[in-house]
Structure 1
Amino acid sequence: MRDQLARMILTKVAGPDPQAERARVHQTPGPRWFAPGSPIQRVHGDASMFAGGLRALLLQSMHPLAMAAVSAHSGYRGDPWGRLQRTSYFLAITTYGAVPDAEAAIARVRAVHERVRGANYRASDPHLLKWVHVAEVDSFLTAHQTYGANPLDAADQDRYVEQTAFVAGKLGVIDPPTTVAELRRTLADYQPELRGTTEARQAARFILVHPPVPWAARPAYGVLTATAVGLLPWWVRLPLRLPYLPLTEQTVVRAAGDGLTRTIRWALTSPTLGETAVKT
């Protein structure tokens, strides 16, 4: 049962042959950007990333230009699992992979960004790139500190932000934050630009209410979405018309989210799958 659950999760995240993807990331010889056990590897290798990833998507949708680009070009409705797999591979290869493979992945993403443009936005715009970056980093770190197996201390939280800034700089982000304090200030600086557009609310509804998830998995997915929403600040939820129930979230949702994250972690650390499969 443990292996079946792990394979069901991994085929959605990493594609039809997750073991081959894992070998590609972890077994290709060559130097890596980050040392084993470094903060970025600890955060990106934990099951809390599932909730963090959903939170990041909801938070990112609050920028009208970023959401316009996603709505027009990402194909998240037609191929949501493909988009998830591409994002997961990028995170895995830049966090754990050999440097040439990581650089090749960054070059591909930058080439795609150059082609994505509309009347009033360019995906390669450093300002939009920074928004996507800080929304991701804040979401991954928030989820890890809440549901991670081993939350980071203050120094390692700053180190995590600094390590993610290294990758962001290679993607074209100018002056990304390198400490938690800078991350919080950057998020605050973007707030006047954020609002809940029709496209953002439609994306939230697709992610939370009408996802392409089998009915048998809907209860677990419902816990995951409630967990992700519970990690969002109120100023994101109100424009997206998401519930804000502090008492329920601090008790029922927190307990359910913790239980689900532990279950995912248990499945993805099955001895027959090798070392922490979530790193795929």
Structure 2
Amino acid sequence: MTSSSTPSPPPPTTSATEPAPLAPGTILWDIAGDIRLLLSLPAALVLQVAHPAVGAGVDEHSVFRTDPWGRAERSLESLQLWVYGGDRAIEEGRRLRRLHKTISGTDTRGRAYHALTPAHYAWVHATAYPVFLRAARYLSRPLSPEDEHRLYGELLHLGAILGIDARDMPGTPEEFWPYFDAMIQDELERTAVAGELLDPRRRVPPPPGSGALLRRLWPLCARPLSRLHVFVTTGLLPPAVRERLGLTWRPRDERRLRRLGALVRTLVPLLPERLRFLPTARAARSA
């Protein structure tokens, strides 16, 4: 039974003991600040907004259309704080929950939603796991079964930092995949926001502060960059999600993505640390 009334935001998760920050030696510490994250994050975002409630929240409350670069920069910096922020990670989790307290409305199926509804908030976090695994497979190295379990445990720990109750997430990778399959089958759809993010014709202005040369060249390079962005995003989506969203992925596309991945796997490890890692991660790793 659906309702158009707006639900009240759920109470925040509280605990007598705050979760410890993530630290060196974790898998997330090694991968969350690597520049290859910039190639995989868009696939996670598409997974998130393909959920009708999340897509409606972004459609109605986000500035991703009017300020795409600023929104991306703020989201990326927030993510970096979760992993590399130490004690600041807990406060960043609280800040995000405060930010989302006023986000509510009605999704495309006529259902009332609130951004902090546990199932919706947990879904946004859960999308990291399949995308991290696929990014590792194509852009770095596939994780061993043991490391897949370690990574999932670290993501549960990160969820606690963000205020996600353990009850709202599958407890193990073995429990995750049936949950994920059910979400694809029962919930995901090509929402308006997902469609925009997967449209290679989407127009994005040049980054703020671009020099005169880049601004002149932007009309020429924006379209090829957009096609590449959508190509990588589509390739890093799980096949069942591509099918659900009506995306075409041919054998030659798979071969192209594998060739691109081989190039990335070869070149990125050769970069100096100041170029290989994002600023917040680089500062934490050098501390």
Shared fold, TM over 0.5: yes
Contact map agreement 2:22 2:86 (CA 8 A) in 1: no
Amino acid at match of 1:168: G
Secondary structure of residue in 1 paired with 2:104: coil
**By how many angstroms is 1:51 displaced?**
2.5
Match for residue 194 of structure 1 among 188, 198, 213: 188
Match for residue 55 of structure 1 among 17, 24, 43: 43
Residues 209 and 258 of structure 1: CA distance in aligned 2, closer, same or farther (over 3 Å): farther
Q: Which protein is richer in helix relative to its size? A: 1
Alpha-carbon separation, structure 1, partners of 2:155 and 2:190: 27
Residues 103 and 32 of structure 1: CA distance in aligned 2, closer, same or farther (over 3 Å): same
Residue equivalent to 1:204: 198
Residues 275 and 55 of structure 1: CA distance in aligned 2, closer, same or farther (over 3 Å): closer
Cα RMSD after superposing both structures: 2.7
Alpha-carbon separation, structure 1, partners of 2:181 and 2:244: 16
Contact map agreement 1:134 1:186 (CA 8 A) in 2: no
For residues 14-29 of structure 1, the aligned pairs below 5 Å read none
Q: Could you give the per-residue CA deviations for residues 56-86 of structure 1, whole angstroms, max 9, x where no partner exists? A: 1121222111100010011111111122112
Residue equivalent to 1:118: 105
Alpha-carbon separation, structure 2, partners of 1:79 and 1:229: 23
Residues 179 and 224 of structure 1: CA distance in aligned 2, closer, same or farther (over 3 Å): farther
Match for residue 241 of structure 2 among 229, 233, 236: 236
Larger radius of gyration: 2
**By how many angstroms is 1:265 displaced?**
5.7
Secondary structure of residue in 2 paired with 1:146: helix
Q: Which moved more, 1:251-260 or 1:233-242?
A: 233-242
Residue equivalent to 2:25: 37
Residue equivalent to 2:209: none
1:96 aligns with 2:96: no
Identity fraction in percent: 27
Count of residues paired in the alignment: 242
Secondary structure of residue in 1 paired with 2:105: coil
Residue equivalent to 1:7: none
> Post-superposition, which runs of at least 4 consecutive aligned residues in structure 1 deviate over 4 A?
260-266
With structure 2 as the length reference, what TM-score do the two structures score? 0.74
Secondary structure of residue in 2 paired with 1:118: strand
Which consecutive residues of structure 2, in runs of 5 or more, have no partner in the other structure?
A: 1-18, 107-111, 207-217, 283-287
Q: Could you give the per-residue CA deviations for residues 235-261 of structure 1, whole angstroms, max 9, x where no partner exists? A: 32244342221x113312221243256
**By how many angstroms is 1:179 displaced?**
3.2
Residues 274 and 240 of structure 1: CA distance in aligned 2, closer, same or farther (over 3 Å): closer
For residues 170-185 of structure 1, the aligned pairs below 5 Å read 170-174=161-165, 175=167, 176-185=169-178
Secondary structure of residue in 2 paired with 1:37: coil
Which consecutive residues of structure 1, in runs of 5 or more, have no partner in the other structure?
A: 1-30
Residue equivalent to 1:107: 94
